[in-house]
Amino acid sequence: MEVMPNNLLCGFALYQSELESKAVEVLRSGWYILGNELKAFETEWAAYHNVKHCIGLASGLDALYLAFRSLGIGAGDEVIVQANTFIASVMGITMNGATPVFVEPDEYYGIDAAKIEEKVTSKTKAVLAVHLYGIPCDMERIVEICKKHNLYLVEDCAQSHGADYRGKKTGTFGVMGCYSFYPTKNLGAFGDGGCILTDRDDLNEKLRMLRNYGSRMHYYNEEVGVNSRLDELQAGFLRVKLVHLHEIIKERQAIANRYDTGIVNSKIKKPKCRPYTDCVWHQYVVRCKERGKLARYLEKQGIGTIIHYPVPPHLSEAYRYLGIKKGEFPVTEEYADSVLSIPIYNGFTEEMQRYVIDAMNAF
């Protein structure tokens, strides 16, 4: 049997007729940027979170970049972020000229709240919590720390659409929640996309101005902004999928549950959902000391896997200038050397799940 690590065609097939009608509808509308589909999606995604504003953007990276920019965070400022994240989380900080200050993750792959305060300095302006793999961070303690030190809390929800912590959705705990709608994400578009959620009216206005060349009114530009807009086709596709997000999440949780009960192998450490949270399983990430051997073993049985992520940002070429040496973040580095994402996607058959479980157990 051939099992791909991810198969977007299966996710498309689930809602094919609705998506195709939406495509035709938008194509025939004659309006492709900043129109009614975007307005409707922004209203619906904000309402889903019970938040006042959603600002549609061109990508998740833009969301992170514009979040810090709209808060006035730049050169000389520090932003605390977990060391084990996708590098875009860090780029959103450094594109503004600010300095990332890394913190090790806890056993749930989120920022280790117990290690945040020791990194707070007079330059710290914000904490970026990344709900990696769809597992919410320790929000109660993080919110408390941000309040105590008067720091902005920004959430990177690129992998946590619809996840919640004690019944409250990720993306609603801090000043802004940043989302990506990249096709592989749980709420994925069919091209690039992203957004920011916020309750603050002033930030909403500022972000709308920044995403459109720094202009509030056509051809009157108050700042050097960017071109970062969620287009009508993508907004329309996202509206179709949003109606089904609940079942998209339920299906991923069912797969994770089958893995959790089915995989029993002392060489393999399974991921855990933090207590009082509803995880949405963007990835199902196991750890194994013999990761290379496990990946090759699965590959031989036709099962594809991915490593999220083999190089932590602080050890990447891009951030060599920060001068952080190997060994400074041992937990993060240990995760980078042992994590392996096994197949999980919408439309993934139970037969294939069984096959993956059997292979994991036979290793």
Cα 110 from Cα 104, distance rounded (Å): 8
Nearer to ligand PLP, 128 or 303 (CB): 128
Nearest residue (CB) to ligand PLP, 130 versus 263: 130
Choose between 159 and 353: whose C-beta lies nearer to ligand PLP: 159
We find the least distance from the C-beta atom of residue 62 to ligand PLP, in angstroms, to be 7
Nearer to ligand PLP (CB atom), residue 67 or residue 256: 67
Which residue, among 164, 163, 137, 142, has the nearest Cα to 152 in the 3D structure?
A: 142
**DSSP3 helix / strand / coil % (the chain, rounded to 5):** 45, 20, 40
| DSSP letters for 92-108 | HHHTTT-EEEEE-B-TT
The side-by-side arrangement of strands in the sheet containing 78-82 is 53-57, 194-198, 176-180, 152-156, 124-130, 78-82, 99-103
Pairwise CA distance, residues 311 & 322, whole Å: 15
# of chain residues touching ligand PLP (CB under 6 A) = 15
Among 3, 101, 111, 130, binds ligand PLP (CB under 6 A): 130
Shortest Å, Cβ 251 to ligand PLP: 20
Q: Is 59 in the site for ligand PLP (CB under 6 A)?
A: yes
Closest CA to 332 of 153, 141, 110: 110
CB of 63 to ligand PLP, least distance (A): 8
CB of 89 to ligand PLP, least distance (A): 5
Site for ligand PLP in 67-126 (CB under 6 A): 85-86, 88-89
Nearer to ligand PLP by C-beta: 102 or 182?
Answer: 182
Strand 277-278 and strand 124-130: the pairing is unpaired
Number of H-type helices and E-type strands within the chain = 12, 14
Q: Which of residues 140-169 bind ligand PLP (CB under 6 A)?
A: 156, 158-159
What is the footprint of ligand PLP within residues 167-206 (CB under 6 A)?
Answer: 180, 182, 192, 194
Pairing of strands 99-103, 124-130: unpaired
Rounded CA Rg of the chain? 20
Min. distance of Cβ 282 from ligand PLP in angstroms?
Answer: 7
Least distance to ligand PLP, CB of residue 182, Å: 4
Report the first-to-last Cα separation within the chain, whole angstroms.
17
46, 61, 101, 315: residue in contact with ligand PLP (rule CB under 6 A): 61
Q: Which is nearer to ligand PLP, 192 or 251 (CB)?
A: 192
Cα 147 to Cα 149: distance, rounded to the nearest angstrom: 6
Residues 174-210 as b or e (16 or more Cβ within 10 Å = b): bbbbbbbbbbebbbbbbebbbbbbbeeeebbebbbbb
Residues in 288-347 at the binding interface with ligand PLP, rule: CB under 6 A: none
The region of 23-31, 56-64, 270-278, 318-326 touching ligand PLP under the rule CB under 6 A is: 56-64
Ranked by CB distance to ligand PLP, the top (closest) residue is 60
DSSP 199: S
User: Residue 114 CB, nearest distance to ligand PLP (Å)?
Assistant: 22
Compute the distance between CA of residue 350 and CA of residue 198 in angstroms, rounded to an integer.
38
Which of the ranges 43-51, 54-62, 313-321, 342-350 carries the binding residues for ligand PLP, by CB under 6 A? 54-62
Q: In the bound complex, what is the minimum distance in angstroms from residue 157's beta carbon to ligand PLP?
A: 8
Q: How far is the CB of 58 from ligand PLP (least distance, A)?
A: 8
- Residues interacting with ligand PLP, by CB under 6 A? 59-61, 85-86, 88-89, 130, 156, 158-159, 180, 182, 192, 194
